[in-house]
A and B are shown apart, each in its own frame.
Chain A
Amino acid sequence: MNMPIRPILSALRYHKAGALLIAAQIALTLAVICNAAYVIHNRLDRMGRDTGIAESDLMVVNNKWVAPPTEFVTRQVADIAMLRALPGVADAVATNTMPLAGSGWRSGVRLTPTGANVGTRGIPIVFGDEHLLPTLGLKLIAGRNFQASDVTTMVENGTPDAAAIILTRAFADHAFPAGDALGKQMYIGNLGAHPSTIIGIVERMHAPSLDQGDDKTWQESIIVPMRMTQRGMLLIVRAQPGQLPSLVKRVPEALKTFSTQRVIPQPNGVLTFQQVRDRAYKADRGLAWMLGGISVVLLLVTAAGIVGLTSFWVGQRRRQIGIRRALGATRRDILVYFLTENSLIAMAGLIVGVVLAFALNRWMMSEFEISRLGLFYVVTAILGLLCLGQLAVLGPAMRASRVPPVEATRTV
């Protein structure tokens, strides 16, 4: 069977406008669809990241003490001791931030006292004591956890230059590519900081913020065994299995009974980690839904447009179709004619569409933190749109193939 390309091309000259419109629509659709799919995939990828902590048993209280700064640390120690003794609590810790909390403290980190910083934006510092690892459920893969004797108090506006520190594996590998971080020293914060010895490495812990882009910085953090002198701290409670629902009510009540000289914001002062996660990824999830919705509707609209215009053409050419049939063309020939015609138009549109897709991606790269569009998305979208075009044209083409040869003799 030979593809009747030449006659199709010459026939197309008689409805240039329609063909151009379909091609334009396919081109624009391709550009939007593959960029949307790319953004959706990026966001879903980010939402699927492993935080490295025991998410299902954790809750957090955003607590502020009403007290002079000199009493912050004693209040913190007393509150945490009370929480650890609460029935149903597996462990508890006071810290400045946690995975997905949103805000935190970044500090410059150097391998020598006055050398260059590792990384460009500073490394998130997580404060805690020897209970931080067990509370969060972080997995130690080398070295040891902090001991009570490692824990110190950081003075106000001090520098987090603890003598012993624990790194995430991602940051350990970043700072020491040879993989020999354990036992090495680094310098955190101020020039003139004391050296900090790496005593342990945890497998994974998500940074407080959701970093954009594809790099590994979202897994980079430093844990220091220090108590911060700060009015507001996160009190993280790990529940014994199954105890979380009751603790969400009991923990704030226990804190209030223990001392009313505190502020727990309403709402959102008490959250399960699941709620922390939902809040952190709200925009990502919403954007994915929005772009997904637009993409689906867009495909439907494009398909509907192809159906509409092709139906019109079929209607316009009934007589010609009848003549071809009378001259010996089979139904199959007519069907193939319209399918081929559509694929020719679609291909022209797709070529322009690829250029548009990369142009749109380029613009989005400059405006948003998005990397280069993967070829995979473009190729998938091209194949998808070709199939969509063929499917959309199938109905009208079938109708065309059923035009009887006798139509040639009718002049309406």
Chain B
Amino acid sequence: MSADMGMPGPAGVQGRSGAWHSPCFALIVSQPGEGTTMLAYYAQLGFRSLRRSPVLTALMIVVIGVGVAAAMTCYSVFRATSGDPIPQKSSQLFIAQIDNYGPDPDDPGADPMPWITWRDALALKHAHRALRETALYPIGASVVFDKPGQLAWPVRGYAVQTDIFPMFDMKFVYGGPWSVQDDEAEAPVVVIAEDLNDRVFGGANSVGREINLDGKTFRVVGVTRRLEMRPRFFDLDAGNGFGDLGEMYMPFGRAIADGRNPEGGNACNKPSAPGWDNFVRSECIFVSYWVELPDAASAAAYRQFLRDYSLEQNRAGRFHWDPNVRLRDVMSWLAYRRVVPPEARMGLVISVAFLGICLVNVIGLLLAKFMRRAGEIGVRRALGASRRAIYAQFMLEAATVGLAGGLLGILLTGLGTLCLQLVFSPVVAKLAAMNLSLLGITVLVALASTLLAAFYPVWRASRVQPAWQLKAG
């Protein structure tokens, strides 16, 4: 390829007189080789061209920056709320639903309620058809102190069975889970989370020590690491999975025996007689039942087991309807319970549409910018520049705009994520905060969308006929 000539001078009918700086003919004497030297030269041309029409360039950068920032801010919330809380196991953990309400006459195929009864939970546990399994319901307790004048501390936690600790990959700082015998004996033991251990025991190894919950003495058997998983897939009734982190785990049987009310959702199809024991033994539902099934075959078998169980209850005269059961893994459970706030989903849709409009805008602006230089392109083509060379040059110019837009986008996204607290709960806002990966994605999206927008204008630029331009000029 012969020497290339940059001609950012007034050429062609497109030139508005006076709009350009003094003509600057730059004849490149050296033979630019293939590769980096050429690219550097195009970058230089691009940069010069951007400086030539600062208003148009600034406008494009702002449009890309604003569009990308809006989309990225909304995406950050979406990403934070739609993430997989336990990626290594989410496809092996399932929640069982059994219909004890009967079909809704308006919607016969509808999903059963999200909870099951105490008696069904006990029956499933007794059948023991899963690798690991636990009944679970959220509870509240008060940590009571001997000190006079000291108010009790509220603490949230879960009534669970010991399988939960390996099931949900909970790590222990001190001690470990309670035993299966403790579950059966309804032993007064607890596992507490690091934070609670810090507050009550000053962070010391509290295994074997006692803690007073609502006037009853419990023995601490283990201290777990802070369990950050969000959304709280096993506790969606509190803040839609973004409520308080539970800090205490108590044997399921002990919580039932102590009359600890469910602090999550509960519902009664048929009324229960007065008193906690009657509530527990009624058709009222409040227990979540989680099972670990290592593969598809065991999941299918378990689903069949639930159907059989439901059918059995039907035959026994308890359910008067066909089995209606569900077995969902973590991600489909989160999707079914619509954990992503509607504001986040709506924001994402609107802001992506907004980014789309910004891109259409950038296409137009780039087209105007490039076609204004049809004369320059004509001259370069006439002097031997290939279409590919023109392509590379203008793409590089667009990429420069995209990069600048991305940098502005980072700034605005940072600003946007700071404002998220105005819409979302502090927990969600904190999860959606700016981080390195969001930063990278922002630049990438800006660059990719600018290049996408540049395709058509660049193609048009590369189609400029050298002869026609020269004649017209």
Contacts and interface: CB of A to CB of B under 8 A. Distances in A.
Interface of A: 17-18, 21-22, 24-25, 28-29, 31-32, 35-36, 39, 64, 66, 68-69, 120, 155-159, 189-192, 231, 256, 260-265, 282-283, 285-287, 289-291, 294, 297-298, 301-302, 304-305, 308-309, 311-312, 315-316, 318-319, 360, 364, 367-369, 411-412
Contacts, number: 168
B274 A157 contact: yes
B357 to A, nearest CB: 5
A265 B156 CA distance: 11
Contact of B346 (A17, A29, A158, A287): A287
A265 B358 CA distance: 47
B361 A302 contact: yes
Interface in B433-468: 456, 460
A294 B364 contact: no
A22 B363 CA distance: 10
A412 B363 contact: no
Nearest to A364: B346
Contact of A64 (B142, B149, B150, B276): B142
Contact of A301 (B153, B343, B351, B361): B361
Contact of B343 (A68, A283, A304): A283
Given A263-B151, A283-B424, A290-B423, A25 B353 contact: no
Given A17-B456, A32-B354, A287 B368 contact: no
B350 A301 contact: no
B1 interface: no
Contact of B10 (A156, A191, A412): A412
B384 interface: no
B63 A304 contact: yes
Contact of B154 (A17, A263, A289): A263
A156 B279 contact: yes
Interface of B: 10, 12-17, 56, 59, 63, 66-67, 70, 106, 140, 142, 144, 148-154, 214-215, 259, 261, 270-276, 278-279, 284, 341-343, 345-347, 349-351, 353-354, 356-358, 360-361, 363-365, 367-368, 371-372, 422-424, 456, 460, 473
B256 to A, nearest CB: 14
A391 B1 CA distance: 49
17 contacts: A25-B364, A29-B357, A64-B140, A69-B276, A191-B270, A260-B152, A261-B152, A286-B424, A287-B346, A291-B347, A298-B354, A298-B357, A308-B361, A308-B368, A312-B372, A369-B342, A412-B12
B152 A263 contact: yes
B142 A305 contact: no
A158 B154 CA distance: 26
Nearest to A288: B423
Given A283-B343, A315-B14, A66 B423 contact: no
Given A39-B346, A305-B365, 18 more contacts: A17-B456, A18-B364, A21-B360, A31-B353, A64-B154, A66-B144, A156-B275, A156-B279, A263-B153, A265-B154, A282-B422, A285-B422, A294-B350, A297-B66, A309-B364, A311-B368, A367-B342, A411-B13
Contacts of B67: 301
Contact of B274 (A155, A290, A411): A155
A287 B423 contact: yes
A289 B419 CA distance: 10
Nearest to B104: A120
A66 B214 contact: yes
Query: Most chain-B Cβ atoms within 10 A of its Cβ — which of A68, A262, A304?
Result: A304
A117 to B, nearest CB: 11
Contacts of A291: 347, 350
Contacts of B144: 66
B418 to A, nearest CB: 13
Give 4 nearest A-B pairs by CB, closest first: A286-B423, A190-B271, A312-B368, A305-B361
Contacts of A319: 13
Given A66-B144, A294-B354, A304 B347 contact: no
A301 B274 contact: no
Nearest to A305: B361
Contacts of A360: 353
A291 B66 CA distance: 14
Nearest to A266: B154
B274 A367 contact: no
A22 B56 CA distance: 16
A301 B275 contact: no
Query: Most chain-A Cβ atoms within 10 A of its Cβ — which of B261, B350, B372, B424?
Result: B350
A260 B151 contact: yes
Contacts of B153: 263
Contacts of A411: 13
A64 B214 CA distance: 11
Nearest to A28: B357
A28 B215 CA distance: 63
Given A190-B271, A263-B152, A315 B16 contact: yes
Contact of A157 (B12, B56, B142, B279): B279
A287 B343 contact: yes
